[in-house]
Structure 1
């Protein structure tokens, strides 16, 4: 918000306008109605129009004030109904101001109205009417008396024979003497004599009017042909009332006549008083006829004044309430904005009172909050950066833990399992890891006691390592167990169990040892086999050439059978020596990018027509990725496993072999599974199954699965044996997926 956008600016200007214009209009209206000022009463048309315009403006102002008052009250009612902030306080202020003004205004209105009625009744009461009528009658009698004196004087002069005689003689001096004798000096009278042409011949007293002025009031504007009873004239001159009588005077034969003019005037003060009494009497009569209208005008004035007072009261109530509600509403809006996170919001309302101090404190608070938020944001960014670093480190550690070949299980200080990595889950099985709560739950009872003792030693010593044979899932394994206590500055925070499966290493070491043994056995046995075989053949040839008559037949038969037996056993020993030699000197693999499904199909074709009564079910996964392997050696592995499965099914009622391929995208491996429905392999034999010279068959050499294990190991894969459900054995081979380079050929396929 900016100062230019402050909605109080136009309202403040309007309030200033009202404070200036309203008193002026009130003064003009009160002056027009109550004061009898001269500048209020117009003397010409333009002033009258101006006064009418001002009166109209006053009336319009009162109407506008009444409408604004009604609008303010209606607006306040709507705000109260809508529960607008500050409406209740504003209502209380308006009600309080109206109550404070309405009660005295009502009393003043009633008192003024009663006083007005009594005053009007007194104005038009009977005593005042009597005084008015008496004063009017006095003025009328004075006027009649002055008029009668003027008329009687004119009649007396026109009937005076001496005046007629003097007029006939044309003696002006005599006429003037006669006029002066008749005119009293003590009265305001004058007399003049005019000839028929209107020429003044003589005068007594002050000449107030000229011949031409008198002629204006005469018939035909001439002194000739005057009526016999004369003419009476009333004229105001110089604030005096003149009563004039004009009568003809016949003073010569032939009808020649003159005119006698007499004037009687009321004194200046009497005339003025009489005129004023008459004017006031006329006004009084007019007001008396408009008594009800006057009453209505004053009643309307009181009503308009009451409305104006109520308007001013409500206006000031709303104005003063806004001095409180507007800052409070601004504070509420600002609080709402701050609650939404807008700390840049500032209140622009100003004030010198406590609310102004509160607004300044609020703005200072928002500034401080913004600074604190910026500081918190900087701290949060630093914390986020540190958290990201910790998270990256945690992710790295997580990735390391999830990808290392050793199993890791963490425990809290109370010995409860916190988590285990994926290798540990594969070793023990996800179900066992999920159900286990403590260290002992992962092992068999006897193993658990030994591992628990190691755990206690680790808590005392820090780190303990032991190599022992344990059960991992459904197999036995030789593993290295490392138990370590994790300590911080404030004490122990937990412990770790690291399990390294040494079975494959031990198996490789045993295979290497047996390889050396096989090499020595092959060397030591192969050397005497050839002489023995040659000697047996020589004995057989010699006995064949011997004379049957000299050599007993029983001896010949025994020698021939012995020689044949020696030859067969020598052949068997040679075969065994050849296998030993092959095991000892395993040919190097020639890996290429190959399709495992293609290798499986070719291996199965070897057994076409040879597996009587055995159902071979092949499930090959589509879109299988290529492997980098020696197709001949992988084929040899598969042929060996299928051949062993076929031999295991000889005494089994259900004869089925399953060959299945699939891909594990998470581990990036290809899985080859060979399962049968035979009797299975005893648990104690599974751990030695891949060792040289160990066989569960009566006629086996014990080198087939050892060679299979060696081939898979050289291809960086793993092989394990599991139980097949419901019966039988399942061999699972996992080979890593190798991504072919862009220049590599298609996977090799054997013809």
Structure 2
């Protein structure tokens, strides 16, 4: 509880309120001690104690303020350095000026107090006092002789006439009071000039004892605020038997003489008192001055810290506001206080932040609108099947849609803001693409050009269109993959050729075959024996060639026709095993089927897909045999994920010589073949059937391990 109470009293406004009360009490006590020097000794300890308490409070407040200033300086808080410089400047000014004033004050204080006790002043006071004493002595001796004369006159009068004679003497002498007293203190008769006084003033016992000892009395006695002379003499006795009596007289003192005498006496008393307190006064006043100066210095330093913080506070608020604005908080508003330059600066800062807020809001609205337009444009571009890219005038890629990445086989979205030269180093095809664009950017007009790439799956054909952006700020390039279109056109053309060839060739083949067979049956018996063998050979050759021609025509027909697919769900493994069963009759041929761990099913036309497998296996066997190599064919199938879809991938690999590099991009075109015999339509028919199923097929060399054909079909769970 005590610690909590001390903390509460040492924080907030309690220390300042307590200090203010103590300073007011100290000021009051100093004023009282200054006005009444006799109370200085009594009040000195109290004044010094209150001053020490004020010093402690000021030291605590000052220490707390300086600690906060040091803490802010160590933390490098905003405005702490400026506050420290202001406080240092104020402290130097305060200590310098206060030291000068304190030095001169102590010097003048000591000289002033010493001047009070000048020898001439003290001699003048002594002379004045001696002069007043001599003046009163002459007056007192005169009145004492007069009193003795009145006592002699009264001693000769009878008691019955004392009253009248006493009044007459009172009138003649100008005394205030005349009275006759016995030595035992009893009054005999009195005469009082003032009717307001009824009872005469009794002489005290000391005066009576002095009279009894035979000595007369004369003295100066204060009476209220005035002075009066008191005289007492023995009245001579007429006979030894008479009782001793004394005459007691009160004489007035002249008012002016009384005032002057009293002033001289008071001044002399004060001077002696001050003279006695001379060194203590110097010490007390010096200590009091030192205490007040120390209080003033501490209070001034504390005020310097406080006023410096008050001066720097708006600047600190401005610094914090500036940091907030720099961090993006444009809603920062400062409290404007006063109408000085700092207040004007704060109001200007608030106006600036308001304008920044308005500008930010406008910018955000524009940005949201731009984002909406960009999102709209991105959605539109993303839905296009054509590739769209934009490049700036410095040939840096700015935008690219998903189709452009898909067509080029490079994720352009991850390479935005890259230079075209950097992109060109990714692969050779992209380098060709970039060089074409760079060549056309030298022209300030639109352009269009077809470009072909050699891909692992075959030749890829692109159609590019370039258009300059307004203000010569760059180019927009639109390109389409027209490979499928060209292939479709080519297939359509070749299909038409095959259909016509099949129609034109197939019609005369049957009569030719029949004629040859008829010639053989009719004339073989009519010719000599040595010529019969020749006739049989010739007619068999004609029949064999006609059969070959029929087979070629059938292939033409198969390539030209587009029958409706009879799709059904088939287990891929079972279908492959059924086809391979037909080729296992030859022990020299090795077939290996690598089964997938999944039970994959695909929707295909059974007969058309079996034709595909037969063509691939037949080509692989013939290629190995023509090269004089062992027939070792490996077939595998598995599921893959490509472009966010599941696909069935079937691979047929052989151990043959592989495909010539110049033919690998033309293998699936009609009449393209590397065999010594054949029409070159086998792989073309394979590609046509696979594409009818929505799939893709391509060839690749396996280095020294032969070649492979890869089929990829869309895979759906049955």
Instruction: Give the TM-score of the pair, scaled to structure 1.
Output: 0.68
Q: Look up the match of 1:604.
A: 580
Aligned position for 2:568: 592
Q: Deviations for 1:224-263, whole angstroms, at most 9, x for unmatched residues?
A: 9x9675997976445343535486998899x784744422
| Alignment correspondent of 2:118 | 122
Q: In the TM superposition, what whole-angstrom CA distance separates every residue of 1:78-125 from its partner, at most 9, and x where no partner exists?
A: 737657143255236514742774365246414422432432432797
Number of matched pairs: 668
Deviation, 1:267, is 1.6
1:731 aligned residue (686, 709, 714)? 709
Partner of 1:665: 642
Aligned counterparts of 2:239 and 2:495: Cα–Cα separation in 1: 195
Structure exhibiting the larger radius of gyration computed from Cα positions: 1
**Alpha-carbon distance, 1:590 to partner:** 1.8
Q: Aligned pair 1:649/2:624, yes or no? A: yes
Q: Which string of whole-angstrom CA distances, capped at 9 and with x for unpartnered residues, describes residues 384-416 of structure 1?
A: 33333333344344xx235xxxxx999999999
Give, in angstroms, the shift of residue 437 of structure 1: 7.0
2:468–2:476 contact (8 Å) kept in structure 1: yes
CA contact (8 A) 1:673 1:731 kept: yes
Given that 2:177 and 2:250 are in contact with CA atoms closer than 8 Å, whether structure 1 keeps it comes out as yes
C-alpha deviations, 1:430-457, integer Å up to 9, x for none? Answer: 8322444765899xxxxxxxxx9xx89x
What do the CA deviations read for 1:708-744 (whole angstroms, capped 9, x no partner)? 344324323333333331253322223233x45xxxx
User: SS of the residue aligned with 1:680?
Assistant: coil
Is 1:513 matched up with 2:497? Answer: yes
- Shift in CA distance, 195/136, structure 1 to aligned 2, threshold 3 Å: closer
Q: Does 1:401 align with 2:386?
A: yes
Q: What does residue 248 of structure 2 align with?
A: 262
2:482 pairs with 1:500:
yes
Alignment of 1:266-665 (within 5 A): 267-269=253-255, 270=257, 273-304=260-291, 306-307=293-294, 310=297, 324-397=311-384, 400-401=385-386, 422-423=406-407, 431-436=427-432, 439=435, 472-473=454-455, 486-487=467-468, 493=475, 500-501=482-483, 502-503=486-487, 505-519=489-503, 521-526=505-510, 529=513, 555=529, 577=550, 580-581=553-554, 584=557, 588-608=564-584, 610-612=586-588, 614=590, 616-623=591-598, 626-650=601-625, 651-653=627-629, 655-662=631-638, 663-665=640-642
CA spacing shift, 1:373–1:268, aligned 2, 3 Å: same
> Which consecutive unaligned segments of at least 5 residues does structure 2 have?
1-11, 411-423
Cα distance, 1:476 vs. partner? 8.2
2:6 corresponds in structure 1 to: none
Matched, 1:91 2:66: no
Shift of 1:127: 1.6
Q: Please say if residues 150 and 262 of structure 1, whose CA atoms lie closer than 8 Å, have aligned partners that are also in contact.
A: no
- Provide the rounded CA distance (Å) in 2 between the counterparts of 1:496 and 1:141: 140
Note the residue ranges of structure 1 that are not aligned, 5 or more in a row. 1-9, 42-47, 403-407, 443-451, 544-550, 741-745, 747-751
CA contact (8 A) 1:417 1:436 kept: no
Structure 2 counterpart SS, 1:726? helix
| Secondary structure at 2:427 match in 1 | helix
**What is the DSSP-based 3-state SS (H/G/I as helix, E as strand, rest coil) of the residue aligned with 1:649?**
helix
Instruction: State the alpha-carbon separation in 2 of the partners of residues 31 and 124 from structure 1.
Output: 30
The question of whether the paired residues in 2 share the 8 Å contact of 1:150 and 1:244 is answered with no
Question: What is the deviation of 1:518?
Answer: 2.9
Question: What's 2:69 paired with?
Answer: 79
Is the 1:482–1:499 contact (alpha carbons within 8 Å) kept by the matching residues of 2?
Answer: yes
Per-residue Cα deviation, 1:145-164 (whole angstroms, up to 9, x for no partner): 58966995798589x4x45x
Structure 2 counterpart SS, 1:349: coil
| CA deviation profile, 1:493-514 (whole Å, cap 9, x unmatched) | 4877766333453244324432
What are the superposed Cα offsets for residues 268-320 of structure 1, whole Å, 9 maximum, x if unpaired? Answer: 53555555554444444433332222222332343355446656765776677
RMSD: 5.8
Structure-2 change in CA distance of 1:379 and 1:66 (3 Å): same
Larger mean Cα displacement after TM superposition, 508-517 or 309-318: 309-318
Change (3 A) 1:515 1:293: same
Quote the Cα distance in structure 2 between the aligned partners of 1:409 and 1:279.
116
Assess, with a 3 A threshold, how the Cα gap between structure 1 residues 58 and 385 changes in structure 2: closer, same or farther. Answer: farther
Can you list the C-alpha shifts for 1:115-141, whole angstroms capped at 9, x where unaligned?
Answer: 324324327975256337636854885
